Structure 1
Amino acid sequence: MFKTSFVRLATLAALSSVSAAAMACEALRMVPGGMVVQVTDGDTVVLDSGLVVRLIGTQAPKLPLGREGFPTWPLAPQAKAALEALSLGQTVRLGYGGEEVDRYERALAHLFVEGREGEQWAQQAMIAQGLARVYSFPDNRACLDLLLAAEGRARAAGLGIWSDPYYSVRAADRPEELLARAGHYELVEGRVLLADRSGGRVYLNFGRFWKQDFTAVIEASALRLFAEDGFDPMALEGALVRIRGWVDDRDGPRIEVTHPEQIEVLATQ
């Protein structure tokens, strides 16, 4: 049984943003947040208490923020401006659904902005505009179904980042192009040629030459999460999938999969 079914995605797509957010995030631990007094970039805000909040579940285009030699990603200023328009000076609530603080002492939370027309879920709003993409962690997986559905709609419409080649979905059968993106967070689509279990890991091979072609590697710790979800990655052999994660170069281009939501099943045959 696959984690994400076409029926589930279709249902999510049909829901309104307000009702869908309530359904998806009702299990979050909700707390008052205060007022947003600063927006650092498209996925980080500062509250009047001094608390820095990282909008968990999303990755907006990055700004240098004082890092020497770090390039401004395409549409990064627009993403910051959009989050400012949504949240700056507004009262917010925070929703926690996993690990709550990162190594930089930032709160890892879903941000709900109080407004005249009701409460808006900042993560969903940014993704729906094509100004952020889904970026998840094994210890923070709440609300991802709806965020993935919103991303799919924005991508299909070519909104925001999805009209810029920098963020294009990459083809798994072009390993040389993927190698050029090593060190980058990417979405990669292709058909799994072989699913193989070896040494406590599962390897999803997208080509015949595993030392050259693209591979997704699922470590033992991640396989436990797959088992809990009833998602057997060995059943992905022959399936058309979309993998998201950081590309590295180890026996060809590869992505390490740490949790099930990194894999979207597009077709089983």
Structure 2
Amino acid sequence: MRRTTIVTVTAAMLGGLGPASAQACENLRLVPGGIVAQVTDGDTVVLDSGLVVRLIGTQAPKLPLGRDGFPTWPLAPEAKSVLEALVLKRSVQLGYGGEEMDRYERALAHLFLSDVADEPVWAQLHMVRAGLARVYSFPDNRQCLDQLFAAEAQARTERLGIWADPYYSVRAADRPAELAALAGNYELVEGRVLLADQSGSRVYLNFGRIWKEDFTVVIEAPALRLFEKDGLDPLTLDGALVRIRGWVDNRDGPRIEVTHPEQIEVLARR
């Protein structure tokens, strides 16, 4: 079921985490995938048919993969190894819940081991629970995120995998100079919204008083339509303690553009 609230991780969600199964991942179009022939990194595999599958909903630490000057992110080899141990040479199913192919002709799917006796094992949940991937969603792929968010919260609390490495630390919204230096990175940023305001077709969540220097979240009109469709109003976030996830840019201070509601986790209301 599509989310109807901005993400709020609760103790009940954390306590309800069971095996890394597909139980909570519903409303997908399930198709046979074949055999995993290769694991490229912690969130990408190649099937015996040649189809490249991007494990939608997650982002594992990145490897260079032939890109000049691209650094190996901390724990990237470990993430690849764990995914290999889970799925390599195994029969899998693909679950589609949104856009099915990207511009690189990779399948955008949830990946399930289909050669197990009980409930199919969900690869994305396995990686997030191990602390070797974080939740990474898209406006056209929003299925099956609740349990992934809960698993990420638990892994972060237990400081598993990436959550024990400063490279992946949750950043403070009230340190704009540090955030500006992270432009071009995908980050989690936590802080209290000082002012939620609308200007024309955009909503701004401001985290400081100097709008051109402090951290800001920008929500454009297409994203606002998704908020409205889900019965959400980001203008109600005045004073809320939130965690934002997304790509940092540096235009009139550090900012993250929010393209869909799941990029905002509400930690506490005013």
Q: TM-score range by the shorter chain?
A: over 0.9
Note if contact 2:243-2:266 (Cα within 8 Å) is conserved in structure 1.
yes
- What amino acid maps onto 1:199 in structure 2? G
Q: Which blocks of at least 5 consecutive residues in structure 1 are unaligned? A: none
Query: What one-letter code is carried by the residue in structure 2 that aligns with 1:252?
Result: G
- The worse-fitting range, judged by mean Cα deviation, of 11-20 and 206-215 is 11-20
User: Post-superposition shift, 1:117?
Assistant: 5.6
Mapped pair 1:3 → 2:6: yes
Give the Cα–Cα distance (whole angstroms) in 1 for the partners of residues 87 and 20 of structure 2.
Answer: 20
SS at match of 1:79: helix
Partner of 1:40: 40
Counterpart of 1:172 in structure 2: which amino acid? A
Indicate if the aligned counterparts of 1:173 and 1:207 stay in contact, CA closer than 8 A. yes
Give the aligned residue type for 1:183: G
Unaligned runs of 5+ in 2: none
Q: CA deviation at 1:15?
A: 2.5
User: Normalization by structure 2: what TM-score?
Assistant: 0.95
Q: Aligned partner of 2:212: which letter?
A: K
More helix by percentage: 1
| Amino acid paired to 2:59 | Q
1:40-119 mapped onto 2 (5 Å cutoff) = 40-116=40-116, 118=118, 119=120
Change (3 A) 1:193 1:246: same
Aligned length in residues: 266
Higher relative contact order, chain-length normalized (CA < 8 Å, sep 6+): 2
Misfit runs of 4+, over 4 Å:
none
What SS class does the counterpart of residue 183 from structure 1 fall into? coil
Give the distance between the partners of 1:20 and 1:198, measured in 2 at CA: 44
Is the Cα contact below 8 Å between 1:37 and 1:47 reproduced in 2? yes
Question: Secondary structure of the equivalent of 1:17?
Answer: coil
> For residues 20 and 46 of structure 1, do their structure 2 counterparts lie closer, same or farther at Cα, with a shift above 3 Å needed?
closer
Partner of 1:153: 154
C-alpha distance in structure 2 between counterparts of 1:122 and 1:21, whole Å: 9
TM-fit CA distance, 1:25: 1.7
Query: Residues 2 and 107 (structure 1 numbering): CA distance in 2 closer, same or farther, change over 3 Å?
Result: closer
How far is 1:228 from its partner?
1.1
Q: 1:221 aligns to what? A: 222
Measured in 2, the distance between the counterparts of 1:114 and 1:157 equals 29
TM-score for both structures, normalised by structure 1: 0.96
Kindly state the Cα deviation for residue 230 of structure 1 after the two structures are TM-superposed. 1.3
Displacement of 1:256 after TM fit? Answer: 0.1
Secondary structure at 2:98 match in 1: coil
Q: How far off its partner does 1:116 sit?
A: 4.2
Given that 1:37 and 1:88 are in contact with CA atoms closer than 8 Å, whether structure 2 keeps it comes out as: yes
Contact conserved, 1:79 with 1:131, CA < 8 A, in 2? yes
Q: Answer yes or no: is the 8 Å Cα contact 1:21–1:146 preserved in 2.
A: no
The 2-side partners of 1:78 and 1:32 are apart by 28
Match of 1:191 in 2: 192
Rounded to whole Å, the distance in 1 between the matches of 2:150 and 2:17 is 12
Q: Distance in 2 between matches of 1:98 and 1:18?
A: 24
Pairs within 5 Å for 1:126-205:
126-205=127-206
- SS of residue paired to 2:85: helix
Partner residue of 1:230? 231
8 Å CA contact 2:26–2:144 kept in 1: the answer is no
Report percent identity of matched pairs.
73
